[in-house]
Amino acid sequence: MPVTFRAWQDCRGTTAVEFAIVVPAFIALLVGTIYLCLGLFLAGSLEFAAVEGARCVSVNTTVCTDASATVSYTQSRYFGPYSSPTFTYAAAACGNSVTGSANFVANLGFKTVTIPITLSACFP
């Protein structure tokens, strides 16, 4: 049998080649999943803090006496990841409204993506 035919029949190293093909896609999927979970945790925590702030100014008037106390209380109720959100308070037609906003920064290695997250909670 000629040497060229034996080279095509040799299966050594196929696992390493398959591994090299699959690993970049797997790592990208893993990193994307982690950043998605962090972004959802940030959004959920931001929503929780805004709802708690709007509820505090409506129900617990001894703690949230004015706008600065309400914003301070709302910031203390934020337990999300590393982002520093900004909160604002306003009296609205629906009741007491607290608006929160934050920027979620995802560093993907080759590109940095900034996602602005804004939400508003109103409590009568």
**pLDDT confidence of residue 72:** 94
75 closest CA partner among 92, 62, 56, 90: 56
Residue 4 lies in a domain: no
Q: What is the pTM of this model?
A: 0.81
Tell me the per-residue pLDDT of 11-47, one tens digit each, with 9 for 90 and over: 788 888 899 999 999 999 999 899 999 999 999 999 9
**pLDDT confidence of residue 5:** 65
Containing structural domain, residue 111: 10-123
Per-position b or e across 52-65, b if 16+ CB within 10 A of its CB: bbbbbbeeeeeebe
Low-confidence ranges of the chain (pLDDT < 50): none
Q: What is the tally of structural domains in the chain?
A: 1
Residue 83 lies in a domain: yes
Residue 2 lies in a domain: no
Residue 1 lies in a domain: no
**pLDDT confidence of residue 3:** 55
